[in-house]
Amino acid sequence: MSAMLFLSDLISRLARDSRGAVAVEFAIIAPVMLVMYFGTFEASRLVRAYMATNRAAQLIANLAAAEGSDGVAAADSADFCSAGKLAMSPFPASAFKATIASATKNLSSGAVAFDWQDTTCGGGAGSFASAAAASNGLLSANGDTVIIVKVSYDYSGPIHFVLPATFNISQSAYQRPRTGNTIPHS
């Protein structure tokens, strides 16, 4: 009987003892908190990269649309690309690519066609398949013209704890030329 009494006494003392409860609670909560902390960090950096990619696309489109009747030269495209890469700061510019194009709706036929496409920025973000689809319905009247910029960025986060290692972010931007006329490319 004494063994039963000893065991019963031991169980009741352990049930009243709460010294290790905090350690057990910490062991349960700590992994969940770490996942939440690193997940929030990774997600916020991904959102910042998305916003920077959007800003870079808008900047390149704005710079190309500001060109006058002299048009866009190869040196201008390189400068636009450099500006886009700077807009991606603090993210590495090595994964930045952009394609710049000009599309116009023909005066006589009303067909939408590309005037030019430039894929020299980081190897380009891909070429546009169709001028009508790329212009996104912005060319309503015959003679309308638009600058189209497609940017892609391969985001790689510093921590791969919660999210996948790499995300491809793509953005498009549209600007009307300041002169109202089609901007030539040389």
Tens digit of pLDDT for each residue in 87-141? 999 999 999 999 999 999 988 888 899 999 999 898 888 878 888 888 888 888 8
Q: Is 144 exposed, middle or buried (0-12, 13-18, 19+ CB in 10 A)?
A: middle
Cα–Cα nearest to 173, from 133, 154, 146: 146
Residue 115: CA count within 13 A, CB half-sphere: 23
The Cα–Cα gap between 15 and 18 comes to: 8
66, part of any domain: yes
Q: What's the pTM value of the predicted model, to 2 decimals? A: 0.81
Domain of 11, in residue numbers: 2-175
Domains held by the chain: number: 1
Give the model's pLDDT for residue 124: 83
- Calculate helix-pair angle for 21-65, 74-87, nearest 10 degrees: 160
182, part of any domain: no
Contact 160, 124 (CB under 8 A): no
71, part of any domain: yes
pLDDT tens profile 150-179: 999 999 888 777 778 788 999 999 999 988
Give the model's pLDDT for residue 1: 59
184, part of any domain: no
180, part of any domain: no
For residue 55, give the H/E element and its range: helix 21-65
**CA terminus-to-terminus distance, the chain:** 102
Q: Which of 32-41, 81-90, 115-124 has the highest mean pLDDT?
A: 81-90
Give yes or no for residue 51 having a pLDDT over 90.
Answer: yes
181, part of any domain: no
117, part of any domain: yes
41, part of any domain: yes
